[in-house]
Structure 1
Amino acid sequence: MDQRHQFRHTGVVKTDATRRVTEEGAGRAPSAVEPTHASSPVVIGHEGHTRAAVVRLLLEEGPITASEIGRKLGLSAAGVRRHLDALIESDEAREASTVAVRHRGRGRPAKYFQITAHGRGRLGHAYDDLAGAAMRQLREVGGNSAITEFARRRVDAIVGNVEAVDGQNSGEVEKTAGAIADAFTEAGFAASIRPVGHGVQICQHHCPVSHVAEEFPELCDAERDAFTELLGTHVQRLATIANGDCACTTHVPLGPAPPQPPST
Structure 2
Amino acid sequence: MIQQELPTRQRLIRLIRESGGSTLADLRRRTGLSRSTLRQHLGRMARDGVVQSYLVRRPSGRPPLMYRLTPQAELASPETYLTFLRAVFDALRSQGQERVDALFREIAERVAAQHPEIRALPDMSARLDAVRRLFFSDAEATQVERTDGGYQFSLYTCPLAPVAMEFRDLCCVTREVIRGLVGEEVEQSEWIIRGDPRCTFEVRGGGNGNGGGNGKTRAAVATVERVVKSRLSPAVEIAAEPITFAFAGSRSDPVLAQMAQGLREVFGSHGHRFAQSEDDDLRLVFNFIDAARPRPFRRKGKGTFLVTVAVTDRRPDNILKEGYPLLIRSLGNLMIYLVRSGGHVETHFVTLEQGTYQSPDLTGDAYFAYLYERLLPLACSELVIDNEFHTDLPPELWEGDELTAQLAEAGRRLDALDLLPTPFPMHELLPARDMRHIQRLFGLGGLSYGNLSVRKDATRYWMSASGVDKGHMAEIGRDMLLVKGFDPQRKVMLLSVPPHVKPRRVSVDAIEHWMIYTEHPEVGAIVHVHAWMQGVPSTAINYPCGTIQLAQAVAEKVRETPDAVHAVVGLKNHGLTITGHTLADIFDRLEEGFIRQVPMS
**TM-score normalised by the shorter chain: which range applies?**
0.3 to 0.5
Q: Normalising to structure 1: TM-score of the pair?
A: 0.44
Specify which structure has the higher proportion of strand: 2
Q: Which structure would you say has the larger Rg?
A: 2
Greater relative contact order (Cα < 8 A, sep 6+): 1
